[in-house]
Amino acid sequence: MSIFSGLEEIVNENCPLAAHTWYGLGGAADYFILPKTTEQLKAVVLRCRENQLPLHLLGFGSNLLIGDEGVRGAVIKLESEEFCGFEFRDNTLLAGAGANLNKLVLDSVRKGLSGLEALTGIPGSIGGAVRMNAGGSFGDIGSSIKSITVMDKEGNIFEKEKPELVFDYRWSNVTAPIILKATMELTQSDSEAMLKTVKEVWIYKKNSQPLNTKNAGCIFKNPRGMSAGALIDRAGLKGTQLGGAVVSEKHANFITTEKGCSSTDVKKLIELIQTKVKSILDVELETEIEIW
């Protein structure tokens, strides 16, 4: 009897994952699952627990590197309408984990609601953004989060609110495997002024990041008080290439890929950067990108 007997319509076995990531790299998942409802999601979570099957949540794949050998266990993607919807209630925004972060930023700005415009140009889903406290030099999502709804490994659903909910640089204290939705508290502001800010952020990113290449955003977290990109540049690594993986000349904290690149190439280049920066500048670089 199959582990996911009765759920065949939402389960794909030995499914290639490369197309689901911005890098377009990596192998297949043992099971790739697209639940349409919370009930189906709970059934999947329970089957994984009963069969001691590793469980991974895949958002937009914008900050993810999947190994060439693929992913053992189940990979779940929340892309149905039930998980991607959102609504505004006065100054509050309620959004499903699968909702598009960029769309929410623009919709909020157009409604004259401030709090998310600092996230302009950051690709990803709300769930992924909350888990890693997505942000940049202009701010992060954690400052707007009021509460989140999560599902634990037993399929129980519950809510976490601040101050129990804690956010820090590229980190949150969310331990539940699945984020279902988030509630954000925004403030009334001038829509035209915010649109100007959005445009300025876009121009800044366009001028400073390799946006027209295959990449997965910043590879490393910035060490406290320092810039990872500047450290990599100081170590003389801009333009360094291993296989099809290249340290961007435009922003050294980005690794871009060329035709024929493998996940192994990217992993080896990440390790080379960490080793060189440690030996030359005595700084440990911690990855921001998720590696499965």
Residue that has been written with the tokens 């001028």 in this structure:
207
Question: At how many degrees (to 10) do helices 191-208 and 101-110 cross?
Answer: 140
Measuring CA to CA, which residue among 138, 127, 136, 204 is closest to residue 170? 136
Q: Report yes or no on whether pTM surpasses 0.85.
A: yes
Stretches where the chain sits below pLDDT 50 are none
pLDDT of residue 1: 52
Ramachandran region, residue 201 (left: φ > 0; alpha: ψ -120 to 50; beta: rest): alpha
CA distance 165 to 247: 36
The dihedral over CA atoms of 198, 202, 205, 211, expressed in degrees to the nearest 10, equals 140
What's the pLDDT at 212?
Answer: 81
For residue 103, the tally of other CB atoms under 10 A from its CB is: 12
Contacts of 54 (CB under 8 A, 6+ apart): 48, 72, 73, 74
Tell me the domains of the chain and their CATH numbers.
8-77 (3.30.43.10), 84-194 (3.30.465.10), 210-291 (3.90.78.10)
Cα distance between residue 126 and residue 102, in whole Å: 9
Q: Report how far residue 196's alpha carbon sits from residue 276's, in angstroms, rounded to the nearest whole number.
A: 40
End-to-end CA distance of the chain: 28
